[in-house]
């Protein structure tokens, strides 16, 4: 397992045990930590409708997490630098 992108501390998160993060598993799959939508972060009816329009949904064994933009961009930047994405 390895971190993809910058550390929470590098992004200015003070409490490293509760900050968003992106990790890559040895299998190539990813773990993403963020705010669980439904616990303090709520999707509006408009947001839910927009997800459906985009063909997105969460199954019974899935959760939707909100991850800050800077966290995802740091992960994408590292992935691009390593040639993992174009």
Q: Which pLDDT belongs to residue 2?
A: 92
* Euclidean distance between the first and the last CA atom of the chain, given in angstroms as a whole number: 22
pLDDT reported for residue 41: 64
CA dihedral 61, 66, 15, 12 (to 10 degrees): 150
Determine the pLDDT at residue 53: 94
Q: What is the pLDDT of residue 15?
A: 63
**Whole-angstrom Cα distance, residue 53 to residue 19?**
30
The answer to pTM > 0.85 is no
pLDDT tens for each residue of the chain, 86 residues long: 999 988 888 888 876 567 888 889 899 888 888 887 765 567 788 888 898 898 888 778 878 888 889 999 999 999 899 988 76
User: Rounded to an integer, what distance in angstroms lies between the CA atom of residue 16 and that of residue 13?
Assistant: 6
């Amino acid at each position: 397992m390895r971190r993809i992108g910058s550390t929470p501390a590098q992004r200015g998160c003070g409490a490293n045990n509760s900050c968003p993060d992106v990790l890559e598993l040895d299998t190539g799959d990813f773990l993403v930590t963020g705010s669980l939508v439904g616990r303090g972060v709520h999707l509006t009816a408009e947001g839910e409708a927009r997800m459906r329009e985009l063909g997105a949904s969460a199954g019974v064994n899935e959760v939707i997490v909100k991850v800050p933009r800077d966290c995802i961009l740091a992960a994408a930047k590292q992935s691009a630098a390593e040639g993992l994405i174009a």
